[in-house]
Structure 1
């Protein structure tokens, strides 16, 4: 609130009437009157500060550190007006919103305030009525004439305070004290105060915006650059600085000119950008003396509003490898299981998990071997999550599910058009792991090509001559014994040598019977939670059935049997008769017409004719007839 000059004798009389007799003249400004009454209630001495103690040196240093931007700006601002402040004996203070004095910018020869004022709190309960604490209360500029101040020592000077708002919130207060009010007009001081307020608010708002902008740019997965026409890099975000350092473009904290580090600079979209040509998400090759990079690049020219000339460009780039990793994460190519999710307390299971943990911490390729259904895929997920590549993608491919003629394209990628080329899973897994299920079904010629790629860490997409680097770990799984397959020339020996540096054998369920009930309970708990089914438990007879069965299909078969028992039993007790060891395959006549159902039943029985005959409720003779009919071999 800007107030016109007042008669000081009258103001002094109002002050004396109140402090001596308690009488409040109606002409006293309402804000001042309220402040006087509170000052009196707090028993503030009118002759001196009330036991005023400032922050100690260390506390003040910490407080000033929190407000360094505002303090440094005021220091720069007052540097230009220090002669003015000294000539008119002006005291200039910067306070935080709680009225703590952050900095005194007064001349060293100022008669009003010494440097000791820094760290002192000027709230009403400490100093009584003062322009700064009125501004703090009402969040408004306020001019206080000398006789209105509570402390008599300051009655011969006026005080003006202005709030400093940043992003809609009052953060600071600037206060000026003036003793030579006859020499310097009140309007001049108010103009100075307004000037400081406006300039500081603009500066702090811009600084807050720039800090937020920098944080955003540093957090983005792209390298962002502002490049001048001569090739100088005016700005780079955190990732951009890292990449510049990686190509030797930063020497002793000085960023070199791009003409000096990029051999093909004049053939890049950046150079063309200075002709006003934009580039959006284009695949660009950058050539340096040490390495060649491939990026997805966007270049936007910054044009002058008047003549559309271009003096600089903004460039956003992302390495193709990083983009693939980002896409892989977005597509859900991440591990779903940790090693902790592998259930089992048996010696065989604990030993397997320990070996998996040790293998995960190395960077070797890994081979998982075990019967079908032993949990190789879950273990592979756990190894990926426990390894150094956990932040990278986990890409999967089943070598038995993809036709041989398409498998090479799936792994190595292919050029499908004049300007269209797709990466394969070896590239998509960059920085992470490639899980190759049923690797024993990989054709020999393709296995040999894969072995060469893993040795050189380079590949070529089908139909291309461009050599690309790969960086992933293979986690291969096999139902059979790869070493024996190599001896029979059914699997490439060179590939086996590469992936078998860490071999982990997964024990069959029949060799870890003490884990069967733990697994059954874990599977049941997941099913109950998933389907929101009330709690169930096993009868003793059911436990006996589960524990004594050989489980030729291992954990996968157990999963199907448990799921069938839990979902088909209405009672909260699952009995032995509720357990169908063929899972969702029922002993009806459908197997007589459907080969697939018969084979699944045959697998559930582990290829044991007597067991299958009992499960299906038929004689062995009848069963042999259908085995011959379907051409099934053990």
Structure 2
């Protein structure tokens, strides 16, 4: 609140009247009168300016760092006007939202030095009535004349305080004290305080807005650059800075030089950035950036920014590294671990030894070989190791090496070269940053074994039909149903490739080697089925448990899973009995389904309409089942 000049002699009389008689004169400003009464009731002394509540040096330093944008701004502003402060014997304080003094500018503040003031609290309970307390309470600028101050030591000067308000909250307080009132008009002091308040509010809002925008730009998986003519980078977000740090000349960062793309991009004149300064925009274009250190591939958009005269003054470039795009695609396609190590259950010594070794190898990053009979859970183990590794956030991509001929498998693994729109990455590139699981690795051709060995040794590959080498960062987990070492000894598997992938070997025990785990596994399978299909839980009856314990399970866990799944869906109640279980080799689901649609539909229902489950139950491939679905006119969905 901006007030007119008051007669100080009368103000002194009003103050003395209240101190001696406790009577508030009607001419006293109501806000000041209320503050006098509060100061009296709190017992604030009137004679001396004492600052008993004060931050420690360490706490003051922390607050100063937190509020550095405001302090830095006011420091710069004060440098421009400090001569004015000296001439008119002014002092100024910057206080935070708790009314702790962050900094003292210019002359001593009511005979207090900067060392005494900075860190001190100046709330009403500390200093009594002051322009600071009133401006803070009412959230408006307030001019207070000396005799209105509660403490007599402070009545020698007039003070004007103003709150710095951001988002409807008082964030800081500015107060200016004038000792030589006759030399400086009140209007000039008030105008100066209001100007500082307005400038700080505008600046801090801009800083807050820029901070939010920078946070957003740093969070997006895109490199963002603002580039000026000649190639100088004026701004780069976090990802952009990390890309630039790999290509700028050594020593540039220490000198504080902004990187210049025309100096570090060997093909600068052939990039969309150069064309952007000619007024030509580019959208989602695949671009190769060639630098002395490395070659990058991005999907890039360049937008020219014009000035008032229509000329291009700068450009904004937004690029998505293709390796990051591949990771996003891999996640979108569901290339993530579906199982954890804890999803594999068992109490037998053979199982716990295997699980302990898997946990240890998960912490390392070198290739791993999983060996075990078919159906023992090698794929689930690979998922668990990936999820327990430092690569868990990256993709997990599986390739079954026996599913396609070598020439197609080569493209599947290494990708295909070609021009724009023709080339595509292979599974090894998609798995970069994560794990590539190679199942049935013993079925790889000798050519692919050698090529994979080269890629893993050099950490780079070239797509089929292409001479460009791309850096990859991938961990390979291989799985084999047979003893690879014996295949090496027989000369039918590459010794070099075996040495690379077998740096660590985890052997998964057969089910007959961990027979005591069969009931526990069966219960776990039932729980997973119930959770997966949102069905009520079921349990095995004692006679059913005895039945499954009496079998050797040559097909291991996969075979047990098929039997338990079939029993789960055949059982109407909540208890699976011996009569609900069809053991391998029994009549159960007869071969009649091959000729009888009703028999096929019965099996289809028993599998809950799940094609993979039905394939396990009937011991046929999914391709065969699709053929019969088409034959009987059934919808596979």
**Separation in 2, partners of 1:368, 1:391:** 22
| Pairing 1:559–2:564 present | no
**Separation in 1, partners of 2:94, 2:137:** 16
Q: Which residue of 2 aligns with 1:395?
A: 397
Q: Note the 1:119-158 alignment, pairs <5 A.
A: 119-158=119-158
2:480 paired residue among 478, 481, 484: 478
1:343 paired residue among 331, 342, 345: 345
| Pairing 1:291–2:294 present | yes
**Separation in 1, partners of 2:41, 2:586:** 85
Q: 1:512: Cα distance to partner?
A: 0.5
**Separation in 2, partners of 1:35, 1:583:** 95
Secondary structure of 2:393's counterpart equals coil
Contact (CA 8 Å) 1:249, 1:258: kept in 2 or not?
no
What is the TM-score normalised by the length of structure 2?
0.85
**Separation in 2, partners of 1:23, 1:290:** 82
| Pairing 1:314–2:313 present | no
Secondary structure of 2:525's counterpart equals helix
Contact (CA 8 Å) 1:161, 1:174: kept in 2 or not?
yes
Structure 2: unaligned runs, 5 residues or longer: 604-612, 620-637
Q: Which residue of 2 aligns with 1:370?
A: 372
Contact (CA 8 Å) 2:562, 2:617: kept in 1 or not?
no
In structure 2, relative to structure 1, the CA distance for the partners of 1:431 and 1:118 (3 Å cut) is closer
**Separation in 2, partners of 1:57, 1:278:** 54
Q: Note the 1:85-104 alignment, pairs <5 A.
A: 85-104=85-104
Contact (CA 8 Å) 1:581, 1:604: kept in 2 or not?
no
2:508 paired residue among 498, 503, 506: 506
Contact (CA 8 Å) 2:402, 2:440: kept in 1 or not?
yes
Question: What whole-Å deviation, never above 9, does each CA across 1:172-224 have from its counterpart, x for those lacking one?
Answer: 01011222222211111110001110111122222222333333333333333
In structure 2, relative to structure 1, the CA distance for the partners of 1:131 and 1:341 (3 Å cut) is same
1:331 paired residue among 324, 330, 333: 333
Q: Which residue of 1 aligns with 2:220?
A: 220
**Separation in 1, partners of 2:338, 2:177:** 67
Question: What whole-Å deviation, never above 9, does each CA across 1:505-550 have from its counterpart, x for those lacking one?
Answer: 2221111012112222222333344455555443332221222221
**What is the RMSD computed on CA atoms of the aligned residues?**
3.3
Q: Which residue of 1 aligns with 2:610?
A: none
Structure 1: unaligned runs, 5 residues or longer: 607-634
Question: Across the two proteins, how many residue pairs are aligned to each other?
Answer: 603
Q: Note the 1:539-558 alignment, pairs <5 A.
A: 539-558=541-560
| Pairing 1:201–2:201 present | yes
Q: Which residue of 2 aligns with 1:114?
A: 113
Q: Which residue of 2 aligns with 1:175?
A: 175
Contact (CA 8 Å) 1:49, 1:127: kept in 2 or not?
yes
In structure 2, relative to structure 1, the CA distance for the partners of 1:129 and 1:246 (3 Å cut) is same
| Pairing 1:166–2:166 present | yes
Contact (CA 8 Å) 2:433, 2:473: kept in 1 or not?
yes
Contact (CA 8 Å) 2:95, 2:174: kept in 1 or not?
yes
Contact (CA 8 Å) 1:551, 1:604: kept in 2 or not?
no
**Separation in 1, partners of 2:614, 2:526:** 22
Q: Which residue of 1 aligns with 2:260?
A: 257
Bigger drift between 322-331 and 48-57 goes to 48-57
**Separation in 2, partners of 1:568, 1:487:** 48
Q: Which residue of 2 aligns with 1:80?
A: 80
**Separation in 1, partners of 2:478, 2:409:** 15
In structure 2, relative to structure 1, the CA distance for the partners of 1:288 and 1:602 (3 Å cut) is closer
Contact (CA 8 Å) 1:244, 1:250: kept in 2 or not?
no
**Separation in 1, partners of 2:281, 2:58:** 54
Q: Which residue of 2 aligns with 1:615?
A: none
In structure 2, relative to structure 1, the CA distance for the partners of 1:382 and 1:170 (3 Å cut) is same
Bigger drift between 498-507 and 128-137 goes to 498-507
Q: 1:118: Cα distance to partner?
A: 2.0
Q: Which residue of 1 aligns with 2:68?
A: 68
Secondary structure of 2:106's counterpart equals coil
**Separation in 2, partners of 1:206, 1:5:** 36
Contact (CA 8 Å) 1:564, 1:584: kept in 2 or not?
no
Question: What whole-Å deviation, never above 9, does each CA across 1:274-326 have from its counterpart, x for those lacking one?
Answer: 1122222222222223333222222222221x112223322233332222123
Question: What whole-Å deviation, never above 9, does each CA across 1:385-443 have from its counterpart, x for those lacking one?
Answer: 23343332111122344466643332232357764321111211122221122334445
| Pairing 1:2–2:7 present | no
In structure 2, relative to structure 1, the CA distance for the partners of 1:602 and 1:458 (3 Å cut) is closer
Q: Note the 1:381-392 alignment, pairs <5 A.
A: 381-392=383-394
Bigger drift between 460-469 and 79-88 goes to 460-469
Contact (CA 8 Å) 2:589, 2:618: kept in 1 or not?
no
Q: 1:482: Cα distance to partner?
A: 4.3
Q: Which residue of 2 aligns with 1:625?
A: none
Q: Which residue of 2 aligns with 1:620?
A: none
In structure 2, relative to structure 1, the CA distance for the partners of 1:531 and 1:338 (3 Å cut) is closer
What is the TM-score normalised by the length of structure 1?
0.85
Q: Note the 1:344-493 alignment, pairs <5 A.
A: 344-402=346-404, 406-414=408-416, 419-443=421-445, 446-447=448-449, 449-454=451-456, 457-482=459-484
Q: 1:591: Cα distance to partner?
A: 5.5
**Separation in 2, partners of 1:56, 1:441:** 71
Contact (CA 8 Å) 2:416, 2:424: kept in 1 or not?
yes
Q: 1:559: Cα distance to partner?
A: 2.3
Q: Which residue of 1 aligns with 2:237?
A: 237
**Separation in 2, partners of 1:201, 1:281:** 39
In structure 2, relative to structure 1, the CA distance for the partners of 1:355 and 1:154 (3 Å cut) is closer
Q: 1:561: Cα distance to partner?
A: 2.8
In structure 2, relative to structure 1, the CA distance for the partners of 1:351 and 1:151 (3 Å cut) is same
Question: What whole-Å deviation, never above 9, does each CA across 1:445-468 have from its counterpart, x for those lacking one?
Answer: 555554554455544434544443
Q: 1:587: Cα distance to partner?
A: 4.3
Secondary structure of 1:121's counterpart equals coil
